[in-house]
Structure 1
Amino acid sequence: MGRIWEFIAPARLGPGFRHLVLAFWTANLADGVMIAAGPLLLASLTSDPFLIALGAAAPRVPWVLFGLYSGVVADRVDRRLLMLGTNLVRLGVVAVLGAAIATDVVSVTWVLVSLFLLGTAECFSDTTASTLMPMLVEKKDLGIANARVMVGVMTINQLAGPPLGAALFVAGTVWPVVAQGVCIALVVLQVARLRLPSLVPPAGERSLFRDVADGVAWLARHAAVRTLALTILTFNITFGATWSVLVVYADDRLGLGGFGFGLLTACAAVGGIVGALAYGPLERRFSLSAMMRVGLVVETATHGILALTTWPAVAMLVLGAFGVQASIWGTTSTTVRQRAVPAHVQGRVTSVYLLGMQAGLVVGALLGGVLAQYGGVRATLWFGFAGSALILALIWRQLPHIAHAGE
């Protein structure tokens, strides 16, 4: 057991990393349960594909509204206390939603409002969490540290979480919410054990606008990180469109039903585990730009193959391959950004980056819902393919510059 834990969280990364990785993993179990349970809950209340897609967008909207401010807060206050506070808020929202479901007063509006409030708390929590890794781990170890986090994210968030969420939903609509509450409580306990190095806040009185402007300006001046942020924004529009209707796709196109949605996300998670475990050897053998190029080609092809097939086995294999690339891309892009951005502006630059990422998912989910409503699920998938192919062609020559941004 000790050897397994040493492989997962090497001692050289420090005890703080171990507490942080456990907090990440537990939070991702909570999110993974709701990946399946959230759409299923909405689908049990309405058959309107636009409202179901709106449920995928609701947690992302706060990033558009508060994302930049969350970065300023993360650079100004005690980051550990901020994470504790935001997760306590999440716990309160989950408790109220669970009570509404248990008393049979829940509605589509209630679910959407709860998802919005959870997204608001997660906006501040996730922005802050993204700044902690470079505070605890040396730059040279950030790649392996982020890969270890990604193993847990893929294993727990997308492999264990969605099937568990779907199974709990079948047992009773309130049980996924109860499970999420327990997980968030465990996150609070892990964050409470963190010990972070001190960080000097910006000196003097500074306006919110000035702090936000500094973060935006830093990213705008750094060509590679700027292009990386634009890549995430645009590819998340196409990805968000496809993912927002995946629960409908699993039923209408593949005939798998509600549990099949969790099965599809689990296939992506299996691929993600493979990608995360292989990251170290791949990083030593191939250039980061080659890994990024291959990954984006795989993502582009995913949309097209899903649009063409009605065979569950093919869809599962394709989503498994997508999971491999998503894991490798996510680890690489996070590591590049963390290496390139100075500690004192990590919160603000990260918030700009995450704002683009979440805004892409919001726009994609809304587009996916509209396209599915008027043109069917295949229209959404073909949009994902065509959009991804166009973006990839435009950024192909820039990918080597992105990959070496942190060197």
Structure 2
Amino acid sequence: MRTLLPRLGAGFNRLWTASAVSNLGDGLTMVAGPLLLASVTGNPILIAGGVFAQQLPWLLFSLLSGVFADRLDRRRLIVAANLGRAAALTVLTVAVGFGFASVVLIYLVLFILGTGETLVDTAGGAMLPQLVAPADLPRANARLSATFTVANQFAAKPLGAWLFGIAAAVPFGVDAVSFAVSAALIFSLPSPGVSSVMPRRSLRKDIAEGLRFLHGDRLLRTLAGAMGLGNIAFCTAFAVFVLYARHRLGVSDVGYGLLLTTFAIGGLLGAALASRVTSRFGAAAVLRTGLLVEILTHVVLATTTHAWVAGTVLILFGVQTVVWGVITSSLRQRLVPNHLLGRVSSVYALLETGGAAIGTLLGGVLAQTWGLTFPFWLAAAAMTAILAAAWTPIAQATRP
């Protein structure tokens, strides 16, 4: 580790540390939030609404966040957003501690957290090319992805439940501190975190400029479309994965949890392998292989009744997800001009979130009508069509 860190620079190391701290805190709230709602209300719809409250800002504000990430000092924008999230969590911590937390307050705090996330994720991704050399972007993105997996997916989940068991307010207080620490680390970054100065125009014109650039670049347009449509396919298939695991694979609740863990295991492997496989085989070949892996995943899950087979293919799918993300993020950061990077990245975020929402709604209806395996077959067919359409444009992934 000591030999790798200097190559990416002190600025990246601070960004990386800030990301690790905030991801750990964010993971605590992801676990504690539903537990808190369940302690306040027994209504399943209201409990599920908490997840929607945190996702809604991505649908509402993704494109606006992209404009702000290009208009404003990205470093200060991240600091302000993290301090705002810390303040909201502090209010929730006090409310929980004194026993007057309500569903409305919880929803409001989760909505603020999601809004801050749209700003921080967009500005942080746009700031990365100013902190590391273009050749180091894949390694930097892989390291950030690995940190997210370890902190948010592995460490935070059991820790959040344990802290909630000690006292319901504790995980939210810890998360508030994590955002404050993250803000301090980002504030210490040097001035290269500042974006280019944009002429002040209407928000609609600024958004349209980012959309035009993305639409005019065949490779980036193809990758964005493949991600959005692929997310619809994935979430269609996995919307009722808990029922699939119980009734088709015959696993217990613990087994279901272990199956979900396979994604994180694959993600860690993908983060470790992303730079190596891309250097060895080329971005275009790896991207095409990734789409083939997605097709294989859906076909295997549609046909198997064995949990160990499903777990194995889900590890492979986790590898592909992170490798695909590292490559596409690095390409976007390298090919999009600095003054447009926030807006172009925000379109990707909107497609990703919108695809997830559409797929989740479709999956439940399709599974109820045609059975638990039908969504997987449909997803396999959709990914086959996506691969065919993207095969030729993806060849441009090797362009300088």
TM over 0.5, yes or no? yes
Paired residues for 1:194-213 under 5 Å: 194-197=189-192, 198-203=194-199, 205-213=200-208
How many Å separate the matches in 1 of 2:50 and 2:339?
35
Aligned CA distance change for structure 1 residues 248 and 31 (closer, same or farther; 3 Å): farther
* 8 Å contact kept, 2:72–2:195: no
Moved more, 56-65 or 39-48: 39-48
1:217 — aligned with what? 212
Which of these residues, 170, 185, 195, is aligned with residue 190 of structure 1? Answer: 185
Structure 1 residues 176 and 312: CA distance shift in structure 2, 3 A: farther
Letter in 1 for 2:26: D
The 1:167–1:248 alpha-carbon spacing in structure 2 relative to 1, beyond 3 Å, is farther
The answer on whether the counterparts of 1:27 and 1:184 sit within 8 Å (CA) in structure 2 is yes
Q: Distance in 1 between matches of 2:365 and 2:231?
A: 17
Instruction: Verify the 8 A CA contact 1:56 1:365 in the aligned structure 2.
Output: no
CA change 1:332–1:200 in 2 (3 A) is closer
Match of 2:390 in 1: 395
Shift of 1:20: 0.7
Output the amino acid matched with 2:183: V
Shift of 1:75: 1.3
Q: Is the 8 A contact 1:56 1:244 kept in 2?
A: no
8 Å CA contact retained: 2:86, 2:180: yes
Give the stretch that moved more between structures: 357-366 or 164-173.
164-173
Q: 1:262 to 1:108 in 2, by over 3 A?
A: farther
Equivalent position to 1:6, from 3, 17, 34: 3
Rate the CA distance shift 1:156–1:235 in 2: closer, same or farther, 3 A: same
Q: Structure 1 residue 404 and structure 2 residue 375: aligned? A: no
Between the aligned partners of 2:60 and 2:109, the Cα distance in structure 1 is 16
Q: TM-score, normalised by structure 1?
A: 0.85
| Range with bigger deviation, 84-93 or 211-220 | 84-93
- Between 193-202 and 328-337, the greater mean CA deviation after superposition: 193-202
Instruction: Give the aligned residue type for 2:212.
Output: A
Selected match of 1:324 from 288, 305, 319:
319
Alignment of 1:116 with 2:111, yes or no, is: yes
Which residue matches 2:90? 95
Tell me, which stretches of 5 or more residues in structure 1 are unaligned?
Answer: none
* Letter of the 1:276 counterpart: A
Alpha-carbon distance change, 117 to 303 in structure 1, aligned in 2, over 3 angstroms: farther
1: distance between equivalents of 2:170 and 2:265? 25
1:256 to 242, 252, 255: 252
Q: Which residue of 2 aligns with 1:337?
A: 332
Partners of 1:155 and 1:271 in 2: CA distance: 12
- Write the letter of the residue equivalent to 1:238: A
User: Could you tell me how far 1:334 is from its partner in structure 2?
Assistant: 0.3
| Superposed counterparts of 1:67-86, under 5 Å | 67-86=62-81
Q: Tell whether the 8 Å contact from 2:27 to 2:152 is kept in structure 1 after alignment.
A: yes
Aligned to 1:294: 289
CA drift of 1:268 comes to 1.5
Residue 287 of structure 1 aligns with an amino acid whose one-letter code is G
In 2, Cα distance between the equivalents of 1:243 and 1:325? 16
**TM superposition score normalised by structure 2:** 0.86
Distance 2:47 2:391 in 1: 34
| Aligned-pair Cα RMSD in Å | 3.1
Q: Are the structure 2 counterparts of residues 300 and 161 from structure 1 closer, same or farther at C-alpha, using a change threshold of 3 Å?
A: farther
1:189–1:373 distance in 2 versus 1, CA, 3 Å: farther
Match of 2:155 among 152, 156, 160: 160
- In 2, the alpha carbon distance for the partners of 1:90 and 1:243 equals 30
Structure 2: gaps (5+ residues): none
Q: Could you tell me whether the CA contact under 8 Å between 1:372 and 1:379 is conserved in 2?
A: yes
Structure 1 residues 247, 385: closer, same or farther in 2, change over 3 A? same
Output the CA distance in 2 between the equivalents of 1:238 and 1:279.
23
What is the alpha-carbon distance in structure 1 between the residues aligned to residue 277 and residue 3 of structure 2?
20
Alignment of 1:274-289 (within 5 A): 274-289=269-284
